[in-house]
C-alpha cells in the first residue's frame, strides 16, 4: 500500500511538469493560440473605485510578478516558441505582463479580453470576438492573449494560476484546453 501511495504521489508531482513539456512542444511547432493569465499581483481584489483606465484603482503586478513576466518572455525565447502577436486586456496587470514578457513583439490592446465589470457575466459579444480570433488564426507562429481569471474561466470553463498559459483551440461552446504551461 505504501508503494502505491508513493507512486501516486510521484505521478501527481510529475504531472504538471509533463503537461508543461507538452505545451512547449506544441508552441515550438507554432500555429497555436495561448491564453495567458497575468503574472503575480499584489492583493486579491481590485478597489471599489475600479477603473479600467486607471492603474491606481487596480491590482498591479508585484515585484515577483514583474520577474515572472520577464521569465515568461525569456522562456518563450529559450524554448524556441515563436510569437507573432500579443493581444492584451486593458487591465494594467495584463498589459504590464505582456509588455515585460514580449518586449519586441507587437502588443494590441483588445477590450474583449477585459474582465466583466462589477462581477457581471462575461459579455456574449466579447466571447464571440475572442472566439473569432482563435477560430481564424492561421499563422505559423503563435499568438498570445493576456487576460485575467474571470475571462479565462468564461472562455474555457477552467481555472488558471497567475502566470499560467493555456494552449487552446475552439471547442463547441468553449475553448478547448490542449496543454498548460506553468511559470513559477
Angstrom CA distances, 159 to 75, 123, 150, stand at 22, 18, 9
Cβ(129)–Cβ(21) under 8 Å? no
Q: Where are the domains of the chain?
A: 2-182
Q: How confident is the model at residue 2 (pLDDT cuts 50, 70, 90)?
A: low
The CATH class given to the 2-182 domain equals alpha beta
Nearest to 153, CA basis, from 108, 106, 119: 119
C-alpha cell at 163: 502566470
User: Helices (DSSP H) in the chain: which residue ranges?
Assistant: 2-29, 63-78, 92-101, 124-136, 149-156
Residue 176, beta-bridge partner list: 169
Mark residue 119 as left, alpha or beta (left: phi above 0; alpha: psi -120 to 50; beta: remaining). Answer: left
- pLDDT, residue 102, reads 97
Q: How confident is the model at residue 8 (pLDDT cuts 50, 70, 90)?
A: very low
User: pTM for the whole thing?
Assistant: 0.88
C-alpha cell at 108: 494590441
Nearest to 85, CA basis, from 49, 33, 123: 33
Angstrom CA distances, 129 to 55, 112, 122, 125, stand at 25, 7, 12, 6
51 has a pLDDT exceeding 90: no
Q: Helix (H, G, I), strand (E, B), or coil: what is residue 168?
A: strand
Core vs surface per residue 29-55: b (16+ CB within 10 A) or e: eeebbbbbbbbbbeeeebeeeeebeee
63 has a pLDDT exceeding 80: yes
Percentage above 90 pLDDT, the chain? 68
Q: Helix (H, G, I), strand (E, B), or coil: what is residue 139?
A: coil
184 has a pLDDT exceeding 80: no
13 has a pLDDT exceeding 70: no
Amino acid at each position: 500500500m505504501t508503494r502505491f501511495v508513493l507512486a501516486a504521489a510521484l505521478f501527481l508531482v510529475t504531472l504538471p511538469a509533463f503537461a508543461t513539456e507538452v505545451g512547449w512542444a506544441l508552441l515550438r511547432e507554432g500555429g497555436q493560440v495561448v491564453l495567458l493569465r497575468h503574472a503575480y499581483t499584489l492583493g486579491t481584489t481590485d478597489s471599489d473605485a475600479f477603473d479600467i483606465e486607471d492603474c491606481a484603482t487596480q491590482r498591479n503586478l508585484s515585484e515577483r510578478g514583474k520577474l515572472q513576466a520577464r521569465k515568461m518572455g525569456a522562456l518563450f525565447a529559450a524554448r524556441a516558441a515563436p510569437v507573432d502577436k500579443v493581444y492584451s486586456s486593458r487591465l494594467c496587470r495584463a498589459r504590464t505582463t505582456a509588455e515585460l514578457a514580449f518586449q519586441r513583439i507587437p502588443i494590441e490592446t483588445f477590450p474583449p479580453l477585459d474582465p466583466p465589470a462589477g462581477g457581471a457575466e462575461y459579455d456574449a459579444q466579447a466571447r464571440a470576438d475572442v472566439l473569432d480570433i482563435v477560430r481564424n488564426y492561421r499563422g505559423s507562429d503563435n499568438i498570445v492573449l493576456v487576460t485575467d481569471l474571470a475571462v479565462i474561466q468564461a472562455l474555457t470553463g477552467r481555472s488558471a494560476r497567475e502566470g499560467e498559459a493555456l494552449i487552446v483551440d475552439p471547442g463547441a461552446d468553449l475553448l478547448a484546453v490542449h496543454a498548460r504551461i506553468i511559470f513559477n
